[in-house]
Protein backbone atom coordinates (compact mmCIF):
# COMPACT_ATOMS: atom_id res chain seq x y z
CA UNK A 1 0.00 0.00 0.00
CA UNK A 2 1.36 3.37 -1.00
CA UNK A 3 1.15 6.11 1.65
CA UNK A 4 -0.07 9.46 0.35
CA UNK A 5 0.06 12.82 2.08
CA UNK A 6 -3.24 14.49 2.92
CA UNK A 7 -4.05 17.09 0.27
CA UNK A 8 -5.58 20.55 0.51
CA UNK A 9 -7.17 22.03 -2.59
CA UNK A 10 -6.12 25.65 -2.89
CA UNK A 11 -8.18 28.42 -4.45
CA UNK A 12 -6.16 29.36 -7.54
CA UNK A 13 -8.57 32.01 -8.85
CA UNK A 14 -6.82 35.07 -7.38
CA UNK A 15 -5.08 36.01 -10.65
CA UNK A 16 -8.30 35.54 -12.65
CA UNK A 17 -10.18 37.76 -10.21
CA UNK A 18 -7.49 40.45 -10.30
CA UNK A 19 -7.34 40.41 -14.11
CA UNK A 20 -11.12 40.61 -14.38
CA UNK A 21 -11.18 43.55 -11.97
CA UNK A 22 -8.39 45.41 -13.80
CA UNK A 23 -10.12 44.88 -17.17
CA UNK A 24 -13.41 46.15 -15.75
CA UNK A 25 -12.11 49.18 -13.86
CA UNK A 26 -9.30 50.64 -15.99
CA UNK A 27 -9.87 51.46 -19.70
CA UNK A 28 -6.14 52.15 -20.22
CA UNK A 29 -5.28 48.71 -18.83
CA UNK A 30 -7.96 47.05 -20.97
CA UNK A 31 -6.87 48.77 -24.19
CA UNK A 32 -3.20 47.89 -23.64
CA UNK A 33 -4.03 44.32 -22.58
CA UNK A 34 -6.02 43.75 -25.77
CA UNK A 35 -3.31 45.41 -27.91
CA UNK A 36 -0.64 43.22 -26.32
CA UNK A 37 -2.79 40.10 -26.78
CA UNK A 38 -2.98 40.83 -30.51
CA UNK A 39 0.74 41.58 -30.79
CA UNK A 40 1.81 38.52 -28.78
CA UNK A 41 -0.54 36.22 -30.74
CA UNK A 42 0.81 37.58 -34.05
CA UNK A 43 4.48 37.25 -33.08
CA UNK A 44 3.97 33.78 -31.58
CA UNK A 45 2.08 32.65 -34.69
CA UNK A 46 4.79 33.92 -37.06
CA UNK A 47 7.66 32.38 -35.06
CA UNK A 48 5.88 29.05 -34.50
CA UNK A 49 4.85 28.88 -38.15
CA UNK A 50 8.38 29.60 -39.40
CA UNK A 51 9.74 26.94 -37.03
CA UNK A 52 7.13 24.42 -38.18
CA UNK A 53 8.03 25.14 -41.82
CA UNK A 54 11.73 24.73 -40.99
CA UNK A 55 10.98 21.35 -39.44
CA UNK A 56 8.79 20.36 -42.40
CA UNK A 57 11.76 21.09 -44.68
CA UNK A 58 13.97 18.93 -42.46
CA UNK A 59 16.36 21.83 -41.86
CA UNK A 60 18.19 22.45 -38.62
CA UNK A 61 18.29 26.02 -37.35
CA UNK A 62 21.95 26.23 -38.31
CA UNK A 63 21.18 24.96 -41.83
CA UNK A 64 18.39 27.51 -42.21
CA UNK A 65 20.77 30.24 -41.04
CA UNK A 66 23.37 29.20 -43.67
CA UNK A 67 20.69 29.18 -46.37
CA UNK A 68 19.93 32.86 -45.69
CA UNK A 69 23.54 33.91 -44.93
CA UNK A 70 22.79 34.68 -41.29
CA UNK A 71 24.55 33.83 -38.08
CA UNK A 72 23.08 30.62 -36.61
CA UNK A 73 22.70 32.42 -33.27
CA UNK A 74 20.34 34.99 -34.79
CA UNK A 75 18.06 32.26 -36.18
CA UNK A 76 18.20 30.36 -32.88
CA UNK A 77 17.24 33.53 -30.99
CA UNK A 78 14.29 34.22 -33.26
CA UNK A 79 12.99 30.66 -33.08
CA UNK A 80 13.55 29.97 -29.40
CA UNK A 81 13.41 32.69 -26.81
CA UNK A 82 14.41 36.27 -27.17
CA UNK A 83 12.17 37.29 -30.00
CA UNK A 84 13.01 39.96 -32.48
CA UNK A 85 12.58 43.68 -31.85
CA UNK A 86 12.12 44.40 -35.58
CA UNK A 87 9.39 41.75 -35.84
CA UNK A 88 7.69 43.27 -32.79
CA UNK A 89 7.84 46.68 -34.48
CA UNK A 90 6.39 45.37 -37.75
CA UNK A 91 3.56 43.64 -35.87
CA UNK A 92 2.86 46.78 -33.82
CA UNK A 93 2.81 48.97 -36.95
CA UNK A 94 0.46 46.58 -38.73
CA UNK A 95 -1.84 46.50 -35.70
CA UNK A 96 -1.92 50.31 -35.54
CA UNK A 97 -2.88 50.30 -39.23
CA UNK A 98 -5.61 47.71 -38.60
CA UNK A 99 -3.75 44.98 -40.46
CA UNK A 100 -2.20 41.56 -39.76
CA UNK A 101 1.22 40.14 -40.62
CA UNK A 102 0.95 36.60 -41.99
CA UNK A 103 3.29 33.85 -43.14
CA UNK A 104 1.72 32.17 -46.18
CA UNK A 105 3.46 28.97 -47.33
CA UNK A 106 3.74 28.65 -51.10
CA UNK A 107 1.80 25.78 -52.65
CA UNK A 108 4.65 24.61 -54.90
CA UNK A 109 8.29 24.14 -54.01
CA UNK A 110 10.62 26.73 -55.57
CA UNK A 111 14.25 26.59 -56.57
CA UNK A 112 15.20 28.61 -53.51
CA UNK A 113 13.51 26.14 -51.17
CA UNK A 114 15.11 23.19 -52.95
CA UNK A 115 18.51 24.87 -52.60
CA UNK A 116 17.89 25.40 -48.92
CA UNK A 117 16.90 21.77 -48.50
CA UNK A 118 20.07 20.61 -50.25
CA UNK A 119 22.09 22.27 -47.53
CA UNK A 120 20.69 19.68 -45.14
CA UNK B 1 -1.12 49.38 -0.03
CA UNK B 2 -2.06 46.80 -2.66
CA UNK B 3 -5.66 46.68 -3.71
CA UNK B 4 -7.46 43.45 -3.02
CA UNK B 5 -9.53 41.60 -5.56
CA UNK B 6 -13.19 41.31 -4.73
CA UNK B 7 -14.51 37.78 -4.64
CA UNK B 8 -17.67 38.49 -6.61
CA UNK B 9 -15.95 39.34 -9.91
CA UNK B 10 -16.27 36.69 -12.62
CA UNK B 11 -13.06 35.16 -14.06
CA UNK B 12 -12.03 36.74 -17.37
CA UNK B 13 -13.46 34.38 -19.95
CA UNK B 14 -12.43 36.99 -22.50
CA UNK B 15 -8.86 35.67 -22.49
CA UNK B 16 -9.34 32.16 -23.78
CA UNK B 17 -12.29 33.20 -25.93
CA UNK B 18 -10.03 35.56 -27.88
CA UNK B 19 -7.31 32.99 -28.47
CA UNK B 20 -7.05 30.79 -31.58
CA UNK B 21 -8.63 27.33 -31.21
CA UNK B 22 -5.56 25.32 -30.18
CA UNK B 23 -4.61 27.87 -27.55
CA UNK B 24 -8.13 28.27 -26.22
CA UNK B 25 -8.40 24.56 -25.49
CA UNK B 26 -5.05 24.59 -23.69
CA UNK B 27 -5.97 27.63 -21.59
CA UNK B 28 -8.23 25.58 -19.37
CA UNK B 29 -5.55 23.37 -17.87
CA UNK B 30 -2.88 25.69 -16.49
CA UNK B 31 -3.35 28.18 -13.70
CA UNK B 32 -1.54 31.33 -12.59
CA UNK B 33 -0.92 31.83 -8.87
CA UNK B 34 0.88 34.46 -6.77
CA UNK B 35 3.36 33.35 -4.09
CA UNK B 36 2.33 34.57 -0.61
CA UNK B 37 4.90 35.18 2.12
CA UNK B 38 4.57 34.34 5.82
CA UNK B 39 2.42 37.44 6.41
CA UNK B 40 0.02 36.43 3.63
CA UNK B 41 1.15 39.26 1.35
CA UNK B 42 1.79 38.49 -2.32
CA UNK B 43 4.96 40.37 -3.38
CA UNK B 44 4.23 39.89 -7.08
CA UNK B 45 0.72 41.27 -6.75
CA UNK B 46 2.01 44.24 -4.74
CA UNK B 47 4.57 44.81 -7.51
CA UNK B 48 1.94 44.60 -10.27
CA UNK B 49 -0.34 46.99 -8.36
CA UNK B 50 2.53 49.51 -8.28
CA UNK B 51 3.34 49.20 -12.01
CA UNK B 52 2.04 51.69 -14.60
CA UNK B 53 -1.23 50.41 -16.11
CA UNK B 54 0.35 49.61 -19.47
CA UNK B 55 3.17 47.62 -17.87
CA UNK B 56 0.69 45.71 -15.67
CA UNK B 57 -1.44 45.00 -18.75
CA UNK B 58 1.56 43.72 -20.72
CA UNK B 59 2.65 41.42 -17.88
CA UNK B 60 -0.87 39.99 -17.73
CA UNK B 61 -1.06 39.51 -21.51
CA UNK B 62 2.25 37.62 -21.50
CA UNK B 63 1.22 35.42 -18.55
CA UNK B 64 -2.05 34.58 -20.27
CA UNK B 65 -0.25 33.73 -23.53
CA UNK B 66 2.18 31.42 -21.72
CA UNK B 67 -0.68 29.86 -19.75
CA UNK B 68 -2.30 29.03 -23.09
CA UNK B 69 0.84 27.73 -24.82
CA UNK B 70 3.50 26.82 -22.24
CA UNK B 71 7.10 25.94 -23.14
CA UNK B 72 8.52 24.39 -25.25
CA UNK B 73 6.15 26.26 -27.61
CA UNK B 74 7.29 29.78 -28.40
CA UNK B 75 4.88 32.03 -26.55
CA UNK B 76 4.77 35.41 -24.87
CA UNK B 77 5.79 37.40 -27.95
CA UNK B 78 9.49 37.26 -27.00
CA UNK B 79 8.84 38.84 -23.59
CA UNK B 80 8.94 35.49 -21.72
CA UNK B 81 12.43 34.06 -21.21
CA UNK B 82 14.02 31.16 -19.37
CA UNK B 83 16.75 32.40 -17.03
CA UNK B 84 20.20 30.84 -16.63
CA UNK B 85 23.10 30.52 -14.20
CA UNK B 86 22.09 31.13 -10.59
CA UNK B 87 18.55 31.89 -11.80
CA UNK B 88 18.14 28.60 -13.69
CA UNK B 89 14.65 27.24 -13.13
CA UNK B 90 13.10 30.71 -13.19
CA UNK B 91 11.41 32.49 -16.06
CA UNK B 92 11.21 36.24 -16.40
CA UNK B 93 8.70 38.44 -18.18
CA UNK B 94 10.51 41.49 -19.58
CA UNK B 95 8.64 44.74 -20.15
CA UNK B 96 10.03 48.20 -20.84
CA UNK B 97 8.01 50.99 -19.24
CA UNK B 98 8.00 54.79 -19.16
CA UNK B 99 11.45 56.39 -19.11
CA UNK B 100 12.91 53.15 -20.50
CA UNK B 101 12.71 51.59 -17.07
CA UNK B 102 12.92 47.81 -17.24
CA UNK B 103 10.24 45.91 -15.35
CA UNK B 104 10.79 42.21 -14.64
CA UNK B 105 8.40 39.60 -13.27
CA UNK B 106 9.89 36.32 -12.03
CA UNK B 107 8.01 33.03 -12.29
CA UNK B 108 8.37 29.28 -11.72
CA UNK B 109 6.58 26.65 -13.79
CA UNK B 110 5.14 24.36 -11.11
CA UNK B 111 4.46 21.06 -12.84
CA UNK B 112 4.41 17.44 -11.73
CA UNK B 113 2.41 14.25 -11.62
CA UNK B 114 -1.24 14.40 -10.64
CA UNK B 115 -0.34 13.16 -7.14
CA UNK B 116 2.49 15.69 -6.76
CA UNK B 117 0.22 18.51 -7.85
CA UNK B 118 -2.50 17.35 -5.45
CA UNK B 119 0.01 17.42 -2.57
CA UNK B 120 0.86 20.99 -3.57
CA UNK B 121 -2.83 21.91 -3.46
CA UNK B 122 -3.35 22.07 -7.20
CA UNK B 123 -5.55 20.26 -9.69
CA UNK B 124 -3.34 21.41 -12.60
CA UNK B 125 0.14 22.78 -13.34
CA UNK B 126 0.63 26.41 -12.35
CA UNK B 127 2.66 29.43 -13.36
CA UNK B 128 3.77 30.61 -9.92
CA UNK B 129 4.49 34.34 -10.00
CA UNK B 130 7.07 34.98 -7.28
CA UNK B 131 8.02 38.68 -7.36
CA UNK B 132 8.90 41.58 -9.61
CA UNK B 133 11.72 44.11 -9.80
CA UNK B 134 12.41 47.27 -11.77
CA UNK B 135 15.68 48.88 -12.87
CA UNK B 136 16.79 51.90 -14.87
CA UNK B 137 17.90 51.49 -18.48
CA UNK B 138 21.34 49.81 -18.82
CA UNK B 139 21.47 48.81 -15.14
CA UNK B 140 21.87 45.21 -13.99
CA UNK B 141 20.39 43.41 -11.03
CA UNK B 142 23.07 42.00 -8.74
CA UNK B 143 23.04 38.35 -7.73
CA UNK B 144 22.44 39.57 -4.17
CA UNK B 145 19.23 41.27 -5.34
CA UNK B 146 18.12 38.16 -7.22
CA UNK B 147 18.82 36.04 -4.13
CA UNK B 148 17.04 38.36 -1.68
CA UNK B 149 14.02 39.32 -3.78
CA UNK B 150 13.48 36.23 -5.92
CA UNK B 151 15.36 33.05 -4.99
CA UNK B 152 14.71 33.28 -1.25
CA UNK B 153 10.99 33.62 -1.99
CA UNK B 154 11.06 30.93 -4.66
CA UNK B 155 12.87 28.54 -2.31
CA UNK B 156 10.18 29.16 0.32
CA UNK B 157 7.48 28.52 -2.27
CA UNK B 158 9.03 25.25 -3.44
CA UNK B 159 9.75 24.01 0.10
CA UNK B 160 6.16 24.13 1.32
CA UNK B 161 3.17 21.80 0.96
CA UNK B 162 0.61 22.91 0.15
CA UNK B 163 2.14 25.77 -1.78
CA UNK B 164 1.97 29.22 -0.16
CA UNK B 165 -0.21 31.21 -2.55
CA UNK B 166 -2.50 34.21 -2.26
CA UNK B 167 -6.10 33.00 -2.30
B73 and A23: CB-CB below 8 Å? no
What is the 3-class SS of chain B, one letter each residue?
CCCCCCCCCCCCCHHHHHCCHHHHHHCCCCEEEEECCCCCCCHHHHHHHHCCHHHHHHHHHHHHHHHHCCCCCCCCCCCEEECCHHHCCCEEEEEECHHHCEEEEEEEEECCCHHHHHHHCCCCCEEEEEEEEEECCCCCCCHHHHHHHHHHHHHHHHHCCCCCECC
Q: What is the pLDDT of residue B103?
A: 98
ipTM: 0.82
Binary contact (B6, A17; C-beta < 8 A): yes
Q: Cβ contact (<8 Å) for A82 and B19?
A: no
- Which pLDDT value is given to residue A83? 60
**Chain B residues whose beta carbon lies within 8 Å of the beta carbon of residue A36:** 57-58, 61-62, 77
Residues of A in contact with B32 (CB under 8 A): 12, 15-16
Q: Which of A4, A5, A14, A54 to mutate to test the interface with B (most CBs of B within 10 A)?
A: A14
Chain B nearest CA to A29, separation (Å): 5
What residues of B are in contact with residue A51 (Cβ under 8 Å)? 74
Nearest CA in chain A to B81: A81
Task: Indicate if the pLDDT at residue A5 is higher than 70.
Answer: no
Q: In this predicted model, what pLDDT tens digit does every residue of A77-112 receive, in sequence order?
A: 777 655 667 788 888 888 888 888 888 888 765 545
Q: Minimal Cα distance from B22: which residue of A?
A: A45
Average pLDDT, chain B: 85
* A116 CA: distance to closest CA in chain B (Å): 24
Contacts of B57 in chain A (CB under 8 A): 22, 28-33, 36
pTM for the predicted model, two decimal places? 0.81
Nearest to B57 among A24, A36, A41 (CB): A36
Domain boundaries, chain B: 30-159
- Residue in chain A nearest B78 by alpha carbon: A83
pLDDT of residue B74 exceeding 70 = yes
* pLDDT tens, position by position, B107-162: 999 999 999 999 999 999 999 999 999 999 999 999 999 999 999 999 999 999 99
Amino acid sequence: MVATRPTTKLDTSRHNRRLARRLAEDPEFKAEYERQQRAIAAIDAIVNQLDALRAAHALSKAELARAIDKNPASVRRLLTAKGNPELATVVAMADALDADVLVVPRKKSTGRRRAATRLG
Amino acid sequence: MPQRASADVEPPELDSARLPGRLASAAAWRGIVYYADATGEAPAETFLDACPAKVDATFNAVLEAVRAAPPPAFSGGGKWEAMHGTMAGYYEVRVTGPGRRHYRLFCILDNGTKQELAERGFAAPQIAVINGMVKPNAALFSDREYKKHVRALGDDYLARLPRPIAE
